[in-house]
Structure 1
Amino acid sequence: MATVTTDPLVGRLVDGRYEVVSRIARGGMATVYLAVDRRLEREVALKVMHAHLAEGASGADFVSRFRREARAAARLTHPGLVAVYDQGLDGDTSYLTMEYVAGSNLRRTMLTERTLPLGRTLDVLEDVLEALAAAHRAGLVHRDVKPENVLLDTEGRLKVTDFGLARAVNEVTATTTGTILGTVAYLSPELIATGACDARTDVYAVGILAYEMLLGTVPHTGTTPIQVAFQHVNNDVPPPSDVAPWIPPEVDDLLCALAARDPADRPADAGAALALVRTVRAALDPADLERRVDPPVTADAVGPASEGAEPGPAAEHRTAATAPLAVLSLQDREAAGLTEPLAVGHVVTPTTRPGPPPPPAPAVAVGRRRRGRVLAWSLVVLLVLASAGGGAAWWFSSGPGAYTLVPSGLVEASRTEAAAILDDASLDHTIEERYDDTVPEGAVVASEPGSGESVRKDGSVQLVVSKGVRMLTVPTGLVGATQDEATAALEGADLTVGEPVAQAHDEVPEGQVMAVEDGDGNVIEEGATIRHDVPVVLTVSSGPAPVVVPQVTGSAKDAAVQALEDQGLVAAVTEEYSESVAAGLVIRQDPEQGTDARRTDTVNVVVSLGPPLVEVPDTYGTNVKAAEKALRDAGFEVEVRHPQGISPLNIVYAQDPPGGDGRTAPKGSTIVINVF
């Protein structure tokens, strides 16, 4: 990839944020740069639209459309789509910042390999259709599917890029200059003939892309873009087996369905097309998936070069269908009996007269080719007028004279203003109301066909009028419900459910909703009305918080209880006698110290009552030796006293504490006996 260092934008800081490092490629409507986002410190692809698109009376319309299309593309999130990060205006510079995909694109692969094996062709189709299906589900149509817009990163993964840009540029260029730039190889017949465009338009382009990958050439070729456009409208795509008989009939049917001239004969969208591709693959012989068609040697074997791609050895053989840049003026199109094109990024021809395409010009000197082209188109015009039985009748009933352009100024005008604009243009209109997050209520979001596109003079323009931001009601009964119940209620109300927040609580059971907030932490009242895109965040109880059981064994009873309560634990105290632990101290605990627990869990604490009580023997009147033995056998210590002096009798006449009659004392305590 060549780096251009003379570009005046290289080295500049765009919008105070994006430092331009080098130029990657330059195309018909924009230049792509490698830049560094200083704020997020990451590499991005900076796509700067050519300044002339924002000039003139329609410049403001272009900037408005460009921003709207960029916002729509930015809402797409899929691994197969190049992410759009930002869009903005720096002075007169309209730009997009997108994911930077280091690698190449499908065009360069096709220039190198010429044809792809059947299995790899189906792999590419699946990846491209899966990415387009995500866009179609979001209501977006690519409009410009071609190999240049299928990127391959360094790991070989495919990403589709450039959603919505062709439409934004077309609405300005087609109405202000009368000239369309681009390639015509992948345009659907309805886009050429009437300007109609829906998901099936992308499906047609994918079918042409599949044909080119498999056979090394596009199905419709010619020496001028008009010839190619003529063939799209009037000729079916031939089955690939016409070129390579070994190709299975299922593949013929697949490609002919994807690229059917009548949109009603194609899959409804990329999702339906993807299902068809997978069904066909499952029915194929694995051996056929490894086969490939021999590369063609004809002059139309090479497709259009990608933006910024090296020309390659066969670049000089490109046909008008796949030339990297073609120009078709309004005068050229009118001379050929064609109406105004309707899609930028390609040369297009809306309405053509049935019949064979003009013969290709011979490969002779330039002057001779031009004379031949003028003669050929003169004959075409004469044939058109003669076969119609009157040129004027055909012109105003079916030809270009039956069409007019949708006026500008519809988007963001009020419903009344837009209706007046269409009335002034003698066009009928219908109204479709749709919620929109950015366009005020009552203003026009879009029109179909769009401003600058062709519409029959007796036709109608559909105005999509904003209903404003969609507002939704928050269900009641969320607080106190379980998380699953609250989530189901929010989803049933079509609200966006944010990531739940877990919060410990000693009393609220685990899994129960405690609060409802938005993404910024503001409380949302139940029954309130909020924007549909405001995330509703549930604060859900995770139950009592986890704690570690402290050591209380050996502590005094009151200190032990306090230590457990400080951790949110509940102390369950019981008492028992102990000969080894002093009274009032904790003998043991359950759970043990260091055990994981939760607040409000119970810890059993056993507190010592001291030694057990035993019955005290009555030694009154007994011999001192017998008294000592009886007391010691009962578990007491004995202290002998002689208050009256030593006597030969050695008889106990007093005892403290006294014994008998069931009297008790702590085991191990001292009993005093008086002897005379």
Structure 2
Amino acid sequence: MIGRLVDGRYQVRSRIARGGMATVYLATDLRLERRVAIKIMHGHLADDNTFKTRFVQEARSAARLAHPNVVNVFDQGQDSDMAYLVMEYLPGITLRELLKDYKKLTPEQTVDIMDAVLSGLAAAHKAGIVHRDLKPENVLLADDGRIKLGDFGLARAASANTATGQALLGTIAYLSPELVTRGVADARSDIYAVGIMMYEMLTGEQPYVGEAPMAIAYQHANETVPTPSSKNPAVPTELDELVLWATARDPEERPNDARVMLDRLREVEPGIRASRTPLRTQATMVIADAAMPIGAATAETSVIGAAAVAPAAPAVALATSDGGEDAAALTSTAARRRRRGYWIFALVLLLTGLAAGTGWYFGAGPGALATVPETATLLPDNARQVLEAEGFEVVDGERNDPRVPAGQVSGTDPAGGQQARRGSAVTMFVSLGPRMLPVPDVIGQPEADARAALAEFAVAEASAPQFSGDIAAGSVIAVLGADGNPLGAEYPELGDVTLVVSVGSVPDVTGLPVAEAEAAITGAGLAVGRAEPEFSDEVPLDHVIAATPTTDPVRPGDTIVLTVSKGEDLVEVPNVITGQTIAQAREQLEALGFTVASNVPSFLEGAVVASVQSPAPGERLKRGSEVTVNFG
């Protein structure tokens, strides 16, 4: 499969992964010049008409989803006996690989990932799509930090006999009780799988294990999922409750869909993060008290704060009891220091507020940088939703694009993948289709010159060879468009074009011995056919009378029908001097194709017996020759 060109568009580069139902490859979309992931269904599934029908329906459903947390579906089709699905390529790892490396995640990491998963799943549920195959393998963690949900519709499209044996173990760990017992699923079945995934992320293991798939299925149907904190005491109560809510055996007791669960997750998220914020402690400092008696060698160690203020009164009182100006000066100095301390404290608060506000504005607020999402080939409404969801203001624009069909988004400014401020304007360009360009006249030109003249069009690498008696070999006979018809005066920019190039004339084999004629025709890449042999006065025996093409125009591989000579049409002269009359002899000779002459009047031929003939019996004459039959 590596190196294969799928459907004339997708060049397969390497294999990414292989599953029980399909293999995923990295490919290049030659038309749009971008990397994509192409999923090729296994042959035993592609032969199932029911599977293919449902696969197409689910692919179309998934393609309708335009959400930052859902892997985009670009295309779906059939190439020969191979069904395929083309998706957005995200370099990175899966959640399964992350769990293999780190065993379990922190509550904060779990919340971050589940927020993205539930966001994408909520969009699917809103569109009426049930995933039915949620598991860590289908959660993609891109290198740039994006989290996306993939494999929409694939599990639903697969028939029941595809999930058996070892292939089932990877999925049955996340099957809901109703799927196990009744084989039915809705949005709440996806919620159950989300709950099992959360348990695994928080504890590093699945709640149910067993030697056989049926043992795991039995536990799903008959047991209650334990709290994650029973395995990992660091799990907060809020996440325990979410997992138990999502994994309730009765679907009626679970959240109705992903949006409900997402709202609840976001309600408890601040509490989860706050409960795990480390306590800020004050450093221990030595304070030199202004009222400390002179000559004291050391000072007590105390913590700055409210508790340190209280001892100040006795210290001042002690100083005042001595009386005099020293006490008044000490009191005035302490007051000034307190006032200056208040101003410093207020200034620190102000600067801290400004720093926090600035950090919020540029870190999470309107001034934060965000990546402009890729929107090429999306419908304008879907692209607008994606851009606005990232916090950008959308400005409409139009431009010609030779690769993106008219009516779809051809790109943005700033371009997708670049950084821009949230709240800034992003121009969304809707494609007007390709420009219409004049077509140069290249008929009769050498192929290389024609390709150079047609550089603004997508000229197929392989030309179409054709025989021509008028155009020299290697020169262009015609220029065909994508519909197979010759181009008109104008054609779309980068439109598909095929050159019809002459391979010279069909070999002239008339008059040649049949063996030589066949060798010349097959040597030119043509097939040989035979017509009924014919007599010929001009063409010798076993030589070619005529070579007739079966097609017009003639292309390599077509058939040339040869008519071979049987030589001259000679007939043996019979003996008519057998006692028969002239009339009887005439009848016999004319039946063989001869003409008859006689010295006997025609009205007597029926009574006069033939006695002389010329030429003599046994000679061979061309059909139509004259034979004389006389009396005496």
TM-score bracket relative to the smaller structure = 0.3 to 0.5
Task: Give the structure-2-normalised TM-score.
Answer: 0.43
Larger radius of gyration: 2
Higher relative contact order (CA 8 A, sep 6+): 1
Task: Give the structure-1-normalised TM-score.
Answer: 0.40
